[in-house]
Structure formats: structure tokens, C-alpha cells
Amino acid sequence: MKYSKIRSKLTRWFQYYFVFSKAALLISGDLAFFRYFLTLVFSHSLVEHAVVDVLMSYITDTWKNVHLNVAAVAVNTYEVTSTIAVVLLAHASDAYFGHFKMILITTKTYILGLVLLWITGTKIWLLVVALVLISVGTAGKEPPLKEFLVDQLRRHEQSLDGNNEIRVQARTEVWWRFWWCLGSITATFAFSAVDWPNTFKVVIVVMFVAYWLFRFGEGLPYCQSPTSEENQTGKQEASASPLSLAYRVLKAAIMKRHLHYPDASKFFKNDSGELILLPNIPFFRWLDKAAIVDPSSLSPEEQEKQGKLCSVAQVKEIKYLLKMVPMWATFLVYGLVEATGSTFFVEQTSNLRSPITDSFVDIVIAFNAMKSLTSFIVPYLYELLIQRRWSDGRQKQGGLLVRIGVGMVSSIICCCAAWQVEVRRLNMVDREGVKDDPDVKST
């Protein structure tokens, strides 16, 4: 009886997270998945863990005369460029190109950047160009690549109600994290004691093969069209891209700044009968004018076509988005910790002696693989053991805040540990009279 319950739970779990599809490896034995999504996820993970995450080490090893601060600036500039590119590419993917074309563009850019990084030698300008191209390539990882898998999984759902959409998102996370962890583990064992030229050769070949296998399946996967393309009726649909929507709302609100707020809800392009558009934020009250129908101008349909009128739902979406801006400002501290981890923590490792391996790059790659594995396991355990037991929305929201708080406390502990390690290392250097040289390792 006990084993039957366990088998029943495993069966339900398997049916919830796995679905038969050509776009993902779904226990069907169909090798078509190599041409689609999973090869790119694996290759992205392999390249990121073998090269991108240890860029600091590559720069300091290749350019011996480059100061530590200069190398840190180069890596942090790459990360900033990649972050900005994520926003721009997400907008271009949603509004103009579509996920599939954007994946092809960013993958080719990624390969070109890796080739330039391989042949750069000691030419600084080639390094800068290579880092810019790689930042665009890594930005194509998500959302375009991840949303492509979502499109494939949505295609196999009979209907897209709330439960099915949640299941699609859960399946996406499982497949994404599994293949991402597989790539990180492969990087840990495959690039042990491998020099930089051979590392670049391997990752370039893997990325090139993944691109062409994915490219040959162009006519087979389901791809959602860009939101700016015309539908079957010939009427252009409003773009669902947040940047396009924000531009439309801001433009309409500025153009109607001379209008007075209506006394009745009929002057709003509104179906809910509300006069004050939620959220009721006094500072963003002027955005409500984007949904006011100008009676002295064209018809509402013509105003909407010319970008002079937005719906209440669109105005609400932008107001909620702008409401989150103060919270985004707190990410600055997180960004400082993240930047420190990818630069100075990596360089700190190069000055320590490991009883396991002589290559500190192997240690960094292994640590990043462990981080990916932890990122795969912890969210799933949190959802399985805690979140599913809370049915109340406030409890779930409180649990999410606790989870964020634990992460922030962990980052503080991480910085304190790195601080103490460096203090101990410098004390050993002073006590033993050893010159603070990167070639001298501390235990």
C-alpha cells in the first residue's frame, strides 16, 4: 500500500512536469530535440560556466600588465552591457523579430564574440568588441530563449486557463534548470586542466553545432509571431512589449495634458465604470489622461490608431510598473555583491592554495556549478515543502518576502567570509615576509 502511494505520487509528478514534444526532450526517444531548445540551453550553460564566469581570470592571465582594477572594470562593464541588452532584446523580440529569429541573431553574435575573444591576443580593442558581442549573446539567453520553450509547451495544452498556465511555467523551469545544471556540471569536469585556447575551441564548436541543429528545425517548432505584426484582419495589434506600451501611454498622456479630468466615467476608455484608475498614486495621476477620450477630436478608434488613446488596462499596467521603480533601486546593493562575486572573489581565489587542484579556475567553475545546482534544488524544495501548504495569498506573499530576506542575509555572510579570508591572507603575507604576488599562493 505504501509503495503504491509513492508510485502514484511519482506518476502524478511525472505527468505534471513532462509532456511529449519535439521542442524538448520529453522521454519519447525522439532526437529532434537536439535541433531545438535543449542544445542551446546546454551550450549557453557550458559557455557561461567555462568562459563568461571566469572572464576575470582570463583577462588577468592573458594581460599580465593589466591592473586588477582595470580587469574588474572590464568585467563589470560587460555585465552592465549585458543587463541593458536584455531589456532591449526582450522588446525587439516581442515587438518586431519574434523569439525564434532573435535566438538565431543572438546565437550568431555569441559565436562571433567567442571567436574574437579567442584570437584577440593582447589587442585591447578586440577585447572590447568581443565583450560587447558576448554581452549581446548572453542577453539572448532569456527571455527570448526561455519564452521559446514556453511557446512550445503552451502549444500542447488543450486550454490556457490558470492551472494550465501554471503547469506550463513549472515545466519550463524544470527543463531549463535541469539542462542548465547539466551544462554547468559538464563544464566542471570537461575543462579541468584545459588551457584557454583549447577551451575557446571547444565552446565555439559546441555553440556552432547547437546553432545549426537549432537552425535546421526552423520550419518545425511553433513560434509566436511578433506582437507588432498584422493579424488576419489586417489591423495592427498593439504591442505587448512593456517598453512599447510605456511609450504609448506616456505619449498619449503628454499629448492630452491640457485636458481636464472627466466628471463621469464615460469619458474614459473604460469598461469597469471606474473614475479613478487604480493604483491610486497621486504622483502618476496625470497618466490617467492617456485613457481620456477627447470629444473634440477624432473618434476613439482613430485616436487609438494614432497612438493618442490607451485603454484603462494599459494605463493600469504602466502605473503598476512605475510603482515598482523604488523597489528596483534597492537592487543596486545586490548588484554590488554580484559584481564583487564575479571579479574580486574570483581573483581572491587565484591567491589561495587548494588541496584538491592546482588550477583555481577549476575551483571557480566547480563553485558556479554548485551554485546552479543549488538554484535548481532550493526553489523546488521551497515550493514543494512550504508554498504548496499555504493556500492564503498573504501567507504566500509573506513566505516570498522571507525567502528574499534569507538571500539578503546570506549575501551579507558571504561578504563577511570573503573579508575574513582576505584579512587572514594578508596577515600571513606580512607575518612570513612574503611579497604580495599573485604567483605566491596562501593556504
- The per-residue pLDDT string of the chain (443 residues; one tens digit each, 9 = 90 and over) reads 567 766 776 666 666 666 545 444 433 333 454 456 678 888 998 998 888 888 888 888 787 777 777 888 888 888 888 888 988 888 888 878 888 888 889 999 999 999 998 887 667 888 889 999 999 999 888 778 888 877 777 776 655 566 677 777 777 888 888 888 888 888 888 887 778 888 899 999 999 988 888 877 555 555 565 655 444 333 334 445 777 888 888 888 888 887 777 655 555 554 544 455 556 666 777 787 888 877 776 777 777 777 778 887 888 888 888 888 777 777 777 777 777 777 777 777 766 666 665 565 667 777 777 777 777 777 777 777 766 666 666 666 677 777 778 888 888 888 888 888 888 878 877 777 655 554 444 55
pLDDT recorded at residue 107: 92
CATH class of residue range 2-226: mainly alpha
pLDDT recorded at residue 134: 93
Q: How many CB atoms lie within 10 A of CB 419?
A: 10
pLDDT recorded at residue 132: 92
pLDDT recorded at residue 236: 39
Tell me the C-alpha to C-alpha distance, in Å, between residue 114 and each of 66, 183, 207, 211, 423: 21, 17, 9, 14, 36
pLDDT recorded at residue 111: 94
Q: What is the 3-state secondary structure (H, E, C) of the chain?
A: CHHHHHHHHHHHHHHHHCCCCCCCCCCCCCHHHHHCHHHHHHHHHHHHHHCHHHHHHHHHHHCCCCCHHHHHHHHHHHHHHHHHHHHHHHHHHHHHHCHHHHHHHHHHHHHHHHHHHHHCCCCHHHHHHHHHHHHHHHHCHHHHHHHHHHHHHHHCCCCCCHHHHHHHHHHHHHHHHHHHHHHHHHHHHHCCCCCHHHHHHHHHHHHHHHHHHHHCCCCCCCCCCCCCCECCCCCECCCCCHHHHHHHHHHHHHHCCCCCCCCCHHHECCCCCCCCCCCCCHHHHHHHHHHECCCCCCCHHHHHHCCCCCCHHHHHHHHHHHHCHHHHHCHHHHHHHHHHHHCHHHHHHHCECCCCCCCHHHHHHHHHHHHHHHHHHHHHHHHHHCHHHCCCHHHHHHHHHHHHHHHHHHHHHHHHHHHHHHHHHHHHHHHHCCCCCCCCCEC
Work out the angle between the directed axes of helices 393-432 and 331-342 (0-180°, nearest 10). Answer: 40
In the chain, where the domains are located = 2-226, 242-325
pLDDT recorded at residue 439: 47
pLDDT recorded at residue 50: 86
Task: List residues bridging with 352 in a β-sheet.
Answer: 442
Amino acid identity, position 271: D
pLDDT recorded at residue 355: 61
- CB 245, CB 319: distance < 8 Å: no
Amino acid identity, position 250: L
The set of cell numbers assigned to 200 is: 575557446
Nearest to 345 by CA among 73, 77, 56, 48: 56
